[in-house]
Amino acid sequence: MTAAIRITLITALLTALLAALKLGAGYFGESHALFADGIHSISDVVIDIIVLFASHFGAQKADFNHPYGHGRIETAATLGLALILFITGLSIIWDAGRHLWGGEPAPKPDFYVLYIAIFAIILNEIIFRYTLRVSKKIKSQLLEANAWHSRSDAAVSVVVLLGIAGALVGFPWLDAVGAVFVGVMICKMGGVLVWKSVSELVDTGVEKETLENIQKTISHIPGVKTLHQLRTRTVNNMILVDVHILVSPRISVSEGHFIGDQVIIALLKLPDMADVTVHVDPEDDETAHPSSHLPGREELILLIKTYCPHLPAPEKILLHYLDGKIELEIILSLSESALFSPEDISNQYQEVPRKLAYIREVKILFSI
């Protein structure tokens, strides 16, 4: 078991025990604020559990029914949990609000709940310092973020402590105010998770800084002239990229594919990058497709044979579809073309552009 997993499990266990203590003391000690803080703590544990299970199933490999993997499982689970948290926070605010604005007298909490609130602050601070120390040792940003989350829990417990203390010295409504504060914090937590999950489900792109880093990485690949139609989205906090790159139209298909592979390799080295799809373009097709109306290879070769029926069959024909026109490179064998002079062959093939307006140029090459 790694240090990160071990400290996370210990933290979750301590938080669960603390949550149970807050809930019990808040309920029997008649402290709305402490009971709400218990719900706030238990929600952290539930989030960890759901993320743990959702991450396990979300990390499963792609299959026939899920060719893009199962990453959305965690997103859907997070969304469901977020809605529950939001509704829970509203119910806490509503219940405490009845004592603040509804005319119902707020009960005075028992004195011992004050000690529970103090204990919660001390324990959260211990968890914070221990987790932070481990995160620095193993250089884990995720663990460090979790440590600061424990510190924020301690801050919430301080507000609860002030509310309980105020209620004990003769201002019982302060306990309800503390509960409202915790309810707002739970609603905020749920709202943030809802926004994050919905943003992911509707394929929101990455932030500007990350996008610029992706563009810079692609532009530095040798052979990439420019890029367009760059699209990003996230699945389970991992980034997926689709991009079109413009390369020289005269290079071979294999070289263009090689350049595309270099783009993929470079992008997959970036943080949180999960998958990259690269489309290699010989010309900019972002706003138009100027060559889409042109005939394909088979149809074009039949037309050439129609206009040049007596010439020897070419060894190879290279087609370049550029700017709505076709450029031909016809390679002939000298031995197969012995009955015709190179000049006659070239002259006959040059008739093709005159008869087919979409042919820009015909180049004749002879192989030995």
b/e map 124-154, b = 16+ CB within 10 Å: beebbebbbebbeeeebeebbebbeebeebb
Rounded Cα distance, 176 and 99, in Å:
7
Name the residue with tokens 């810079």: 216
The structure's pTM equals 0.65
SS3 (DSSP) at 322: strand
Residue pLDDT, tens place only, 284-298: 887 778 888 899 999
Q: Name the residue among 330, 308, 306 with its Cα closest to residue 317.
A: 330
SS3 sequence, 25-54?
A: HHHHCCCHHHHHHHHHHHHHHHHHHHHHHH
Which residues of the chain are modeled with pLDDT < 70?
Answer: 1-5, 47-48, 50-60, 62, 66-71, 74, 99, 102-106, 139-149, 236, 336-338
Tokens of 295: 């005939």
Report which secondary-structure segment, H or E, holds 331.
strand 325-333
Residue pLDDT, tens place only, 236-275: 678 999 999 999 998 989 999 999 999 999 999 999 898 8
SS3 (DSSP) at 140: coil
Q: What's the pLDDT at 104?
A: 61
